Structure 1
Amino acid sequence: MTPNTHHAAPRRPRAGVGPAVLLLLLTAGAACSGTVDKLLSVTTPSRLADEQFLVPQNAQLIVNSAVADFSCALNGYVVASGLSSGELADASQTASRWSFDRRDILPTDAQYATSSCTGLGVYTPISTARFSADQALSHLDTWTDAQVPNRQQLIARAALYAGFSYVLLGEGFCSAAVNLGPELQTAQVMDSAIARFTRAITVAQSLNDQTTLNAAYVGRARAKIDKGDKAGAAADAALVPVGFVLNTVADATVSRLSNRVFAENNSGAGGVTIAPAYRNLTVGGLPDPRVKVGDQNRLNSDQANRWFTQSKYTSLATPLPIASGIEAQLILAEATGGTQGVAILNSLRARSGIGLPALTAAEVADFQGTLYSERARELFLQGNHWFDVRRFNAPLVPAPGATYPAGGAIAKAGTYGSERCWPLPDVERAANPNLGS
């Protein structure tokens, strides 16, 4: 499979992805837009034309912009998926956000479909990040090493972030579409992710770029375990050092690069609170240091939910993990199971800074349930749990049909739904002639 798998005919950017984006590229952390295979043919007086920006001398900036797009998208995704997966509970008075928490997103809802990453949008920001990285990769493939310093390094980086963007599309949504192409199911989206991670691995190996290499191994292992390819996932995950981590770009002074979890949960009265299932977690009677949650002893801004805060991210400048050796070990434990899987989980519990007791006989007997719980704790608020709920077919908490919200002084109206993934938005169907309405 080539890095351009699922690319359709050249097109102009869809609304919500591009109209003013190229102009923003002149500032730090801005996004890029345009077509993957062909430059835009129409410009406006307020906009920098693609042919003026998509040139070899801007290659570094183009890739940096794709990385920034992904960082912003992941921040929004972590909070939105945290609400849907039961890590977080909405504590705002903004009704458009409640559907995340209530698990009843409709394809017509604008909040998840077209809002920015700072506004807890998910589909457009992730699609933008995917497009930016694929576009960078496409143009780098047409340029030469003589035209672009460190071209191979940039190719590996663009492929890496394209891969992670496809992972978020595949995990977060029930289906997806790419570049006006047909509707893709999760396994097909993961195939595209795997192709890009493989490209990153091949190039990173030639450069001896261990950071990109390890991150791509984690990403490919994640995409493979998502598809049910345990052997392939284990082979990749086993290659990653436990202490490895790749983080997002983070900047407290730039809203789109600020830590969205801290902004939503820890700043002011908080727009979200930590859900009850993640409060006061223990292991063998000991507090679990992987999920530190504090009680602020007051109500949130909705005057209904009590304000509980996380301490995993300590400021707006704290980056989010994109890929880590810890995640790789959890994938390896899942893929191998048995004695090796138990040993891996025990080792993670016993590591420095955690110091928790080994699995009990009951936990070993219910290894699948234990693995699900360990992943929920180790990867707390990192964007993994939403798809775990789906692929482990875990019970939804609160249960479907329960009054929303469960408890609290103010009823926000409605009942909890049964969604385990977000639907493909109607705005995608309306703009894509290859999709049914």
Structure 2
Amino acid sequence: MRTDFRATLCVAVLVLGTSACDAFDRLLSVESPSRLSENNFLQPSNAALISASAVADFECALGGYIVAAGLAAGELADGSQTAARWSYDRRDVDANQDLYSSGSCVGIGVYTPLNVARHTNDQAVRLLSEWTDAQVPNRQLMIARNAAMAGYAILLLGESFCECVINVGPALTQAAAFDSAEARFTVALAAAQAANNAALINLAYAGRARARLNGGDGPGAAADAANVPQSFVYNATADANAAVRNNRIFAQNNQGRAVTIAPAYRGLQVQGAPDPRVAVSAGTPTLMPDQVNTFFVQAKYTSLTAPTPIATGIEMALIRAEVAGPGTGVGILNTLRARPGVALPPLDAAEQANYSATLASERSRELFLQGTRWWDMNRLNLAQVPAAGTAYPKGSQYGNQRCWPLPNVERLANPNF
């Protein structure tokens, strides 16, 4: 799938600042033709803008995905009056629906924004690989960053859709999507090492660890995860100047009152103590716009400008704990609980005895509203809340979806189907 690169440039201008605005103005001042040719734009002199705009594509896609997947996974509940959104919440998305298939990242669409981010980041890597260091300063650093963003875009497609497509190709299984993501993270790792950039090295290891875990390679996942320090965080950036750059979770929950925090994530405790990892409070006014749901707000993201984690050392520790099992994993989880700012008691006997359920619970709390729970519900076969068949308060009933279907707009436009 493709995107209008001029719209992408507008996002990049916000990311790069005044100098990029000047460059963008010069690009648009070309007298003829009235629309700037893509071939004229895709030049080494524009490498920084091409790279940054592709990253911005993924950052916006990630925010929309976290909200949509949060609804599907039971982290969030929809409080809007917009019926097109309810199918996320109800777990009955139909392949003909427009919102999830072709909606924008601002409007919590998922399939098109993730595919756009995959395309633009793959394109950036291809171009940067063709150009030289003499033509493009910091070329390896850009390759590393864009390859990682492409990897994460495909990773999220694999985690959320029952099957996906790349470049109008054949349908890919989830396992094939994870393989494709892993290949991009390997490219990112080599480029990050060549650039000697520690943050991008950790990002590449973290992405590959997640892809390997998803693909069933536990030892490989743990080996990659072990390279990432617990303190590591790589964020998607945000600002308040344009909707595509807003923190989508804050915009949809705290500011827009379109979603509320689902009951399962309200008032969470650990052995009687409040859990600071899932800070949730009652909002004002009490009722949501749908006049059905109660308004609760999250405190993880405190403004439209709050960054959103793409990868963290916390997630890597959880991967190591999962692969290691209870023998070593209990100690890893206890270390996470004991860290400053959390300071929770270690696992008690009951938590240790039911280690698999405890690990799933710790993941749901540590990675709250980071876009991981929807896939965890699938791969760990976790109980859906509310259960399938329960009456949905705004009509119909909850379904049993654990992944979204490949949209029919893809099938109808793809000669492979």
2:7 aligned partner: 21
CA distance in 2, matches of 1:29, 1:190: 29
* Residues 97-127 of structure 1, C-alpha deviations (whole Å, 9 max, x = no match): 0000000000100000001000010000000
* Residues 305-338 of structure 1, C-alpha deviations (whole Å, 9 max, x = no match): 1101000000000010000000110011011112
Is the 8 Å Cα contact of residues 22 and 50 (structure 1) preserved in structure 2? Answer: no
2:252 aligned partner: 264
Q: By how many angstroms is 1:25 displaced?
A: 6.4
The letter of the residue matching 1:426 is: N
Q: By how many angstroms is 1:22 displaced?
A: 5.8
Which of the residues 106, 110, 119 maps onto 1:122?
110
SS of alignment partner, residue 205 of structure 1: helix
- Which residues in structure 2 correspond to 1:228-243 (within 5 Å)? 228-243=216-231
SS of alignment partner, residue 184 of structure 1: coil
- Which residues in structure 2 correspond to 1:22-421 (within 5 Å)? 24=10, 27-29=13-15, 47-268=35-256, 270-296=257-283, 298-405=286-393, 412-421=394-403
Aligned Cα RMSD in Å?
1.5
Q: By how many angstroms is 1:253 displaced?
A: 1.3
SS of alignment partner, residue 119 of structure 1: coil
2:404 aligned partner: 422
Q: By how many angstroms is 1:141 displaced?
A: 1.3
Is the 8 Å Cα contact of residues 11 and 56 (structure 2) preserved in structure 1? Answer: no
Is the 8 Å Cα contact of residues 25 and 65 (structure 1) preserved in structure 2? Answer: yes
CA distance in 2, matches of 1:105, 1:367: 33
The letter of the residue matching 2:97 is: D
CA distance in 2, matches of 1:396, 1:47: 49
Is the 8 Å Cα contact of residues 20 and 47 (structure 1) preserved in structure 2? Answer: no
Q: Structure 1's 45 and 105: CA in aligned 2 closer, same or farther, altered over 3 A? A: farther
SS of alignment partner, residue 301 of structure 2: coil
The letter of the residue matching 2:142 is: L
Q: By how many angstroms is 1:355 displaced?
A: 0.7
Identity of aligned residues (%): 56
417-426 or 151-160, which moves further after superposition? 151-160
CA distance in 1, matches of 2:33, 2:391: 52
CA distance in 1, matches of 2:344, 2:34: 58
The letter of the residue matching 1:75 is: G
The letter of the residue matching 2:354 is: D
SS of alignment partner, residue 247 of structure 1: strand
The letter of the residue matching 1:28 is: L
Runs of 5+ consecutive residues of structure 1 not aligned to the other structure: 1-12, 31-43, 406-411
SS of alignment partner, residue 70 of structure 1: helix
Equivalent residues, number = 401
Q: By how many angstroms is 1:29 displaced?
A: 4.9
Q: By how many angstroms is 1:26 displaced?
A: 7.2
Is the 8 Å Cα contact of residues 91 and 398 (structure 2) preserved in structure 1? Answer: yes
Is the 8 Å Cα contact of residues 5 and 38 (structure 2) preserved in structure 1? Answer: no
